[in-house]
Amino acid sequence: MRTPRGGRYSGGVTFPVVGMVGGGQLARMTHEAGIPLGIKFKLLSDTPQDSAAQVVSDVVIGDYRDLGTLRDFARGCDVITFDHEHVPTEHLRALEADGIPVRPGPEALVHAQDKGVMRAKLTEIGAPCPRHRLVKDPADVVAFAEEGDGFPVILKTVRGGYDGKGVWFVRSPEDAAEPFKAGVPVLAEEKVDFVRELAANVVRSPHGQAVAYPVVESQQVDGVCDTVIAPAPNLDEGLALRAEELALRIAKELGVIGHLAVELFETSDGRILVNELAMRPHNSGHWTQDGAVTSQFANHVRAVLDLPLGDPRPRATWTVMANVLGGDYPDMYSAYLHCMARDPKLKIHMYGKDVKPGRKVGHVNTYGDDLDDVLERARHAAGYLRGTITE
């Protein structure tokens, strides 16, 4: 016998309202993935021009840092989730106190907001991390370096950094002053001798069901994700399994609901170390839109609604995602002609953003059986859209 469950049940309309805070491309693609599920999608966006606000019908324009705005927004929602991790923890607690499910909740999300809290918790649960310590001044940085292999060391502001921002590669004691100028807490980490970066993406629901996507290789250029290869080529099976289990364990121990990206270093001596956590759909999971049975976006929606999760397995031998960054050509649309004619299997995902040099404005996915071919197609398309490849 079927009985109603969750959501708002007036008349025949029984589909829940998912409220997403933040109008970036992750919200845009979450909306896209939610349309087939028939759910109602409501957006809190800074401006009507934001990536997601361009394509969502039910948009509230407002400031997520304002509790009153958040409360008004949340009143029409069955659950609140996020395009980014910047909503203040105390606001999230207030929403929970109002009876609104917040997924992931503030107790989980803080680990993606504060790198100091994240490192402490991961260390507590035995998750392998680079050597790290909160540091209070340049002399403290020198002490941290001397406790290990000396300089270089990495300094990070514990809050607010992304895509290489808020991160310093410190080669000498003289370099160590800059990160302290903003007067915010700073975390020191050893410079890991890694052979490549991996990402383990998992999705977990309130029921505790969880799925793991295959571990991917993530290639960075200038601190920004450039290419993702799924699955990571030539990855030791045991290491892949350990990475998936690690991500599942982190999701469980931290109480994550929704998508969790665990960015990893693979070291030359066969270890994996946790680099960063993201508790939302993540750039390293964009390949799933065209390469997995269920995309990270669809599974994120299912998780926050406590629906059974979809199959995370790949649909192709290899899938490659290449980010499209802004270049010198403001008009990317005209590049579609060449890209689509050259590769009828190419999957373009643009975010509706104005093109600015270096800005992530979209990505492409390619898939197939021959990794060299799949990589070449993705890189060509991304380069052509950006304007760095002109033939």
Instruction: Determine whether the annotation assigns residue 136 to a binding site.
Output: no
Select the span of 3-11, 141-149, 191-199, 261-269 touching a copy of itself (CB under 8 A): 3-11
Asked if 31 is part of the footprint of a copy of itself (rule: CB under 8 A), the reply reads: yes
Residue 179 · residue 157 · CB < 8 Å = yes
Is 59 an interacting residue with respect to a copy of itself (CB under 8 A)? yes
For 221, the token pair is: 């250029």
Please indicate if the annotation marks 146 as binding a ligand.
no
Binding flag, residue 162, a copy of itself (CB under 8 A): no
Closest residue by Cα to residue 353 from 25, 22, 83: 25
Q: Which of 126, 330, 357, 358 binds a copy of itself (CB under 8 A)?
A: 330
**Sheet of strand 153-157, all strands in order from the earlier edge strand to the far edge:** 132-135, 186-190, 153-157, 167-170
Residue 65 phi, psi (nearest 5): -85, -5
245 assigned ligand-binding residue: no
Give min distance, CB of 104 to a copy of itself, in A: 21
Residues 6 or more apart whose CB falls under 8 angstroms from that of 239 comprise 266, 270, 272
Q: What letter represents residue 261's amino acid?
A: A
For the chain, state the CA radius of gyration.
21
User: CB atoms < 10 A from the CB of 177, how many?
Assistant: 12
Question: 292 exposed, middle or buried (CB, 10 Å; 0-12, 13-18, 19+)?
Answer: buried
Among 19, 23, 40, 74, binds a copy of itself (CB under 8 A): 40
Nearer to a copy of itself, 182 or 293 (CB): 293
Q: Which residue in 11, 99, 208, 238 binds a copy of itself (CB under 8 A)?
A: 11
Nearest to 359 by CA among 348, 370, 346, 350: 350
**275 annotated as a binding-site residue:** yes
Among 310, 317, 371, 376, binds a copy of itself (CB under 8 A): 310
Tokens coding 177? 């002053």
Establish if 134 lies at the interface with a copy of itself (CB under 8 A): no
Q: Which of 57, 124, 234, 372 binds a copy of itself (CB under 8 A)?
A: 57
- The annotation status of 276 as a binding-site residue, yes or no, is yes
Query: What count of Cα atoms within 13 Å lies in the side-chain half-sphere of residue 326?
Result: 13
The reply to whether 35 sits near a copy of itself by the rule CB under 8 A is yes
Q: Is 303 in the site for a copy of itself (CB under 8 A)?
A: no
Show the site string, 94-133: x = touches a copy of itself by CB under 8 A, - = not. Answer: ----------------------------------------
Which residue ranges make up the annotated binding site for ATP? Answer: 115, 156, 189-192, 197, 275-276
